[in-house]
Structure 1
Amino acid sequence: MPQPAVQSPEWWRDRLYNALCKRTEETNVFDDYYECEHPLPHLHERARAPFRRLLKMSRANYCELVVDAFVGRLEVAGFQSDVDGGSDEEAWALWQDNNLDGGSQLAFLEAAIRGNAYMLVSPPDGRRGFRITPEHPTQVITEGMPGNAGEMAAALKLWMDDWTRRLCCTVYLPDRIYKFDAPELKVGEAPRWVRREVRGEEWGGKNVLGEVPFGELANRPRMLKPGASELRSVTGIQDRINKTITDRMMTQEAAAFPQKWATGMEIPVDENGQEIEPFDVAVNKILIAEEAGAKFGQFAAADLSGYLKAKEADVTDIAAITSTPPHYLLGSMVNLSAEALKAAEAGLIHKIYQRRRFLEEGLERTMRLAGIASSQARIVWKSPEWRTEGELVDALVKMGTLGVPREVLWERWGATPQEIERWRRLNEEALDRAMDGDFAAGYGAKPEAGIPEDGVPAAVGE
């Protein structure tokens, strides 16, 4: 079969499809670890059947904690214009209209697990405005323009049509959009694609946006590598933890209880000559033997402290490698001061600020594709730092004495741009009412209680 021409729709389809399949196979491992589908620890063949129940109980999912501790503090609070009359309100209305409070969280989560996620921008269709939808990294892949990584050359969206059971894909180029589907799928064979044409329309619709309509949310990318999973460095440690837990549970099953022994006595046998256990040991039973030389004793129970320390050491390794506060993973907090908590979370806060820079680039491209200029509506994030109300208010009061504008103090307090605008309007309305009251009082209106008719308050002490 002849190969498609370079940069033709078929060439991009095959190229991106193969890249997407390869990336999905690699990142499925991290998705399994997040979902607590860890591989079972290795045991000898003879030991697997008796201890299979213990193997299934040995999974302790620290990978989920690592990801959730990071993603839980990624939250877009709004948009803020850099110039007067900017488009921050328009951007926030678009954000809310597309339910991106929750949609962005889904995209951030997938980016943290698999390394990448996407936002698809669809142009207005006459019934509603721009449509922005989060896209899963197993269904979408993009490729940058050679020599200009900030510009996208093409993108592919792949999905299975649940109604027709057909594999479908769409190739997005800056000028055109092409659709394909594979009516028949055979295991072990590449899809046999055919053009998906709409009756009465030319194959390959026009891309009215003039750009590949995706914003890429990349987690911890490098110069020559795409985004990477937060779990890339800890899956091996997770396996160690599961193995340690399995060994501990096997020890508990076999040797954690003191084993009894007896000597100097004859063991009874049944009618078939098989030995009979002479004692039924329990907390309310007494062991008695008629032989004068009989002796009883017990072995020491197995010490489990070594397993517990080994597991704790591995969890500490995860905390250090992923910058996750140790008390999140170990669950132990003993008389920790506010300063100690801040120090423990410093690494996580730094990681969040670092990761947000690349996520923000994808979000800004998404909003720009939807008609919102990123230079006029920058993204405002909720602060990931933990501070007590008293500490924060005290710092803001001191900043106010230095002449810091009131709106800036509100922003530092954590108010969203929408809350700041609402508070500003309320203050202006209150000031207008006060001025209207002074104006009315000057023209004979009934003064307020405690104010003389001439409008001049009495001196203190009169």
Structure 2
Amino acid sequence: MALPQKPAVGSAEWWLERLYEELQERRKYADTMRCYYSGDHPLAQVADKAKDAFRRLLRQARSNYVGLVVDATAERIQIDGVRIGDTEIGDPEAWRIWQANNLDADSDLLITEAVKCSRSFVLVAPNPEDASTPIVTGEDITQAIVAYEPGSRKRRAAGLKAWTDDWTGELMATVYLPDAIYKFRAPKPTHGVIGKPKWQPREVDGEAWPAPNPLGVVPLVEIPNRPDLLGNAMSEIEDVLDIQDRINKTLIDRLMAQEFSAFRQRWMTGYEVPTDESGQPIEPFKAAVDRLWVIEDEGVQVGEFSATDLGPYLSAVESDVRDMAARTRTPSQYLLGVMVNISGDALKAAESGLVSKVLQRRRPFGEAFEEVVRLYLRAAGDERDLNALEIIWHNPEFRTEGELVDALMKMSTLGVPHEALWERWGASQTEIKQWRVQRNQAAERIVGGDIAALYGPKSPAPEAGSGDGV
């Protein structure tokens, strides 16, 4: 039986209709951002009779700079581990569950989607086959949405995941509330018919829903990019789409000039063009490197029109690209591909804006991923205090190996622990754990008198009186 027309406020049916309608609007936004990111920019409008003639030029005129803006930002936001409390290294249990759910790779996808489309989502669920390893999945902005309690940007009131079944074509939906989980279905939409889906409760594996929510909170977490105090999020390229369109328009004009007026058009006056037997004009001259044009009539004049200068078009594109680089704080060499005799200090200064932006973007990302880790640790039965939980980020600043080693050596003289130095070096949490064990084992052997542990198995022990004793 179909759902009632006016469900009670706060009920699962009420949240389903409310969130599904909002999800449809977000899909339009996400589709626009994805088209621009992939280079499928909207073509300029032309007259119908000219559409076939210019369609090839219009497609060639699209140059995808906004895609570079997204990639340049997302590729520097990488998660290396999870730290709980005041420990020097990442938490092994939190990282085990993280890796068991392939979040090493999926976290990069989630961050890229958030940078591109303003949001992505993570869903946490208990694992019926292994209670110690909850299931964590990344969810797309076109299939997931979260609502917050009035006056709060953190307390989740409800969540919705809605999608189309690939096999049956039916609409599927799951509503997540703090106390229960509801599942619904709707018939496959009829082509050309616009209206709200006719949702009905559905059963899964013969079991009727709703089912109790074992986590006690909405298990769907939003990963926002550029959030504001009203809870809105923003794509990294939303405010530079006009610049991208401007670049494409300039490229269209350049291609038109290049196609029709970038060559020198010749003209001739006072010359009678010969004709054939049928009265059709005959081409009197053939242009080639080894040919000479000879005209016997002294009254004939020959000249040529100058070609269109393409320089202003190229300068206009470069100017717009620089505007985009300044607005998005993307190094201009990323977009223009020009980098000649740049010193290390100059290169570092050129990338300082991007590094600062990445550090700022990481803060809301970190809060969201910390909530994800808390949820799956709670689902796994972890009873520790998880308030002091911290995401370990990869250093977004690029340095040469020599610069990095020199900086780490100086930091070690200040008493910075080895684990912190290894982390800054870029070692993974697994590598840090292995190095820590190897270091401790070597220290134990040295204390026990194993000099080879200090000098290596192939190094001779120091001779007496050499001054190199331990």
TM-score by length of 2: 0.90
Pick the aligned partner of 1:339 from 345, 361, 367.
Answer: 345
Please tell me the residue identity of whatever aligns with 1:167. Answer: L
Pick the aligned partner of 1:179 from 180, 183, 195.
Answer: 183
> What is the aligned partner in structure 1 of residue 296 from structure 2?
290
Q: CA separation in 2, counterparts of 1:199 and 1:26? A: 35
> What is the aligned partner in structure 2 of residue 81 from structure 1?
84
1:25 to 1:289, Cα distance in 2 relative to 1, 3 A: same
Q: Helix, strand or coil for the counterpart of 2:172? A: strand
Q: CA separation in 2, counterparts of 1:458 and 1:236? A: 73
Q: Does 1:361 align with 2:367?
A: yes
For this pair of structures, how many residues does the alignment match?
A: 449
Q: Helix, strand or coil for the counterpart of 1:118? A: strand
Q: Does 1:146 align with 2:158?
A: no
Q: Which moved more, 1:357-366 or 1:182-191?
A: 182-191
Shift in Å at residue 200 of structure 1?
A: 5.6
Q: How does 1:162-177 map to 2 (within 5 A)?
A: 162-177=166-181
Shift in Å at residue 87 of structure 1?
A: 7.6
Q: CA separation in 1, counterparts of 2:370 and 2:162? A: 24
8 Å contact kept, 1:87–1:376: no
Please tell me the residue identity of whatever aligns with 1:433. Answer: R
Pick the aligned partner of 2:117 from 105, 111, 114.
Answer: 114
8 Å contact kept, 1:167–1:183: yes
Please tell me the residue identity of whatever aligns with 2:35. Answer: D
8 Å contact kept, 2:89–2:429: no
Q: Does 1:317 align with 2:323?
A: yes
Q: CA separation in 2, counterparts of 1:238 and 1:438? A: 66
Shift in Å at residue 94 of structure 1?
A: 0.6
1:334 to 1:449, Cα distance in 2 relative to 1, 3 A: closer
Q: CA separation in 1, counterparts of 2:97 and 2:361? A: 24
> What is the aligned partner in structure 2 of residue 224 from structure 1?
230
Q: How does 1:17-416 map to 2 (within 5 A)?
A: 17-44=20-47, 47-83=50-86, 88-127=91-130, 129-186=133-190, 187-198=193-204, 201-371=207-377, 374-416=386-428
Shift in Å at residue 54 of structure 1?
A: 0.9
8 Å contact kept, 1:158–1:167: yes
Please tell me the residue identity of whatever aligns with 1:361. Answer: E
Q: CA separation in 1, counterparts of 2:176 and 2:64? A: 38
Q: Which moved more, 1:40-49 or 1:376-385?
A: 40-49
Shift in Å at residue 360 of structure 1?
A: 0.9
Q: Which moved more, 1:330-339 or 1:398-407?
A: 398-407
Q: Helix, strand or coil for the counterpart of 2:448? A: helix
Uncovered stretches (5+) of structure 2, i.e. residues with no partner: 379-384, 453-459
Q: Helix, strand or coil for the counterpart of 2:228? A: coil
Q: CA separation in 2, counterparts of 1:272 and 1:74? A: 74
Q: CA separation in 1, counterparts of 2:66 and 2:228? A: 22
8 Å contact kept, 2:263–2:308: yes
Q: CA separation in 2, counterparts of 1:63 and 1:439? A: 59
* Deviation digits for residues 222-257 of structure 1 (CA, Å, limit 9, x no counterpart): 011421111111111111111111111111111111
* Deviation digits for residues 255-310 of structure 1 (CA, Å, limit 9, x no counterpart): 11111122221012344444333223233322222323222222222110000000
Q: Does 1:431 align with 2:437?
A: no
Q: CA separation in 2, counterparts of 1:450 and 1:419? A: 31
Please tell me the residue identity of whatever aligns with 1:407. Answer: E
Q: CA separation in 1, counterparts of 2:302 and 2:446? A: 94
Shift in Å at residue 36 of structure 1?
A: 1.1
Q: CA separation in 2, counterparts of 1:140 and 1:449? A: 65
Please tell me the residue identity of whatever aligns with 2:189. Answer: L
Please tell me the residue identity of whatever aligns with 2:298. Answer: A
Shift in Å at residue 388 of structure 1?
A: 1.5
Shift in Å at residue 328 of structure 1?
A: 0.1
Pick the aligned partner of 1:11 from 11, 14, 33.
Answer: 14
* Deviation digits for residues 80-120 of structure 1 (CA, Å, limit 9, x no counterpart): 23245998100110111000111111111111111010000
Q: Helix, strand or coil for the counterpart of 1:51? A: helix
Q: CA separation in 1, counterparts of 2:448 and 2:272? A: 109
8 Å contact kept, 1:86–1:376: no
8 Å contact kept, 1:88–1:377: no
Q: Helix, strand or coil for the counterpart of 2:449? A: helix
Q: CA separation in 1, counterparts of 2:130 and 2:96? A: 17
Q: CA separation in 2, counterparts of 1:310 and 1:8? A: 56
User: CA RMSD, aligned part only?
Assistant: 2.2
Q: Which moved more, 1:79-88 or 1:91-100?
A: 79-88
> What is the aligned partner in structure 1 of residue 455 from structure 2?
none
8 Å contact kept, 1:237–1:318: yes
Please tell me the residue identity of whatever aligns with 1:109. Answer: T
Runs of 4+ in structure 1 deviating by more than 6 angstroms, as ranges, are: none
8 Å contact kept, 1:316–1:326: yes
